[in-house]
């Protein structure tokens, strides 16, 4: 007696576009100048803040080529070996390539600034889709929430079990 079950095709809710950016290659991220990111974010203007947390603030920006980005400006932490630690973390993040993870586009590192550059996601973060919906919008239905949870779980599984090095 054999049991056979047809698998449903996988669905992904938050997917990063697969188009290739000639400046971004695995392990070879674009290093932005601080000036480029200042211009893109209107000198890190408060009107461009997308979010804030314990790590710092995230700003919306428009690069010279017209593309929209999210610039994560990390809080200044002066620690011995901080530059090397930041470089190592950037390198590790750049190696995490999975359809359920937002891919790092580039970074900026100066003696006083640490910035990470990601593609801008017009629909916002997963958290904002789940929790911060305007009263005029209905809550997400359960099938959509399930797709988000499964996509998040797949991304975490990749980071913890399949990424080299494991993150």
* 3-state SS, one letter per residue, for the chain: CCCCCCCCCCCCCCCCCCCCCCCCECCECEECCHHHHHHHCCCCCHHHEEEEECCEEEEEEECCCCCEEEEEEECCCCCCCHHHHHHHHHHHHHHCCCCCCCCCCEEEECCCCEEEEEECCCCCCHHHHHHCCCCCCCCCCHHHHHHHHHHHHHHHHHHHHHCCCCC
Between CA 129 and CA 68 the distance in angstroms is 20
Residue in 85, 152, 142 with CA at minimum distance from that of residue 114: 85
Residue 8 is labelled as binding a ligand: no
What residue numbers does the annotated binding site for ATP cover?
Answer: 72
| Residue positions forming the annotated binding site | 72
């Amino acid at each position: 007696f054999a049991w056979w079950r047809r698998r449903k095709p996988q669905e992904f809710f938050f997917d990063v576009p697969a188009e290739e950016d000639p400046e971004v290659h695995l392990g070879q991220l674009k290093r932005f100048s601080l000036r480029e990111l200042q211009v893109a974010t209107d000198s890190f203007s408060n009107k461009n803040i997308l979010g804030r947390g314990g790590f710092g603030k995230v700003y919306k920006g428009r690069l010279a080529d017209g593309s929209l980005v999210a610039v994560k400006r990390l809080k200044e932490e002066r620690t011995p070996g901080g530059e090397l630690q930041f470089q190592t973390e950037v390198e590790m993040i750049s190696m995490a390539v999975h359809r359920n993870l937002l891919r790092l586009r580039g970074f900026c590192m100066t003696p006083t600034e640490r910035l990470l550059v990601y593609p801008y996601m017009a629909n916002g973060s997963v958290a904002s889709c789940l929790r911060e919906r305007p009263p005029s919008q209905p809550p997400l239905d359960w099938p959509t929430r399930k797709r988000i949870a499964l996509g998040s779980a797949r991304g975490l599984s990749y980071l913890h079990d399949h990424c080299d090095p494991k993150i």
